[in-house]
Structure 1
Amino acid sequence: MRYAIIKIEPELAADLLAMGAAFDDALSTGNYQGEVFSFETPGALFAAITPKRWDVLNRLQGKQPMSIRELAKQLGRDVKNVHTDAIKLLDIGLLERDDAGRIYSPFAEIKTEFTLRGEAQAA
């Protein structure tokens, strides 16, 4: 079972170190650690994954691959706009295409982790 972790991590260097440690652990133990998608700020996250894109992810979660046209029909949205949203989610890595070009969510579960710290606490 694949799962994704979407998180806000303002300190990219610390996040890279944590991902490296998780990778080392996965190599040594064989335990799957999930796939991490990090954003530096809440604004960056919500610019990349808008409410309409969350709807796309939600609709595809646990479903068979489908065409963008079918997805747009299920969402009651314009095909061109759903296409734009799907391409962005494909670019991020939260969606994938099958051999027929249909899109799907490869993740059985998508978790979000938000840790916000005030400036005084972050120092």
Structure 2
Amino acid sequence: MSRLADYPLDLAVRILPLQVRRRYVAEFDADLQVLPNGKRAGYAVSTLLGAPRLRWEVIHSAAGAGAVPCFLGRHHDRRVHTESPDPTVFALECSRCGRIRDPKQRDTRTDQGGIGRTMFGGI
């Protein structure tokens, strides 16, 4: 990739959902390789300008028509229990687009149940 085209394409890839980033990095790189050097920067800028629409299309195709609020950051989260034996530990899953978010409850809990003592064979 040309250095001038790297930055706009990196930004364009960061706009896309995590699940498809690797695919589009490969596609954008392949597109740049077939373009002459003088047209690479223009391609990178146009790709960056089209990235929000591409993000919407990817989310829309993965989740269907209900994904428009998710594109705007308005997810419809529901609690999903993890494999933890503790029933208070859960993750949040969007019922429209399938995004899973862990609120990091394991780190903020105050009762660690003796985890620190048992790890080091302790006291």
User: Which bin holds the TM-score, normalised by the shorter protein?
Assistant: under 0.3
Higher helix share: 2
Higher RCO (CA 8 Å, separation ≥ 6 residues):
1
Which structure shows the higher strand fraction? 1
Normalised TM-score (structure 1): 0.25
Q: What is the TM-score when the length of structure 2 is the normalising length?
A: 0.25
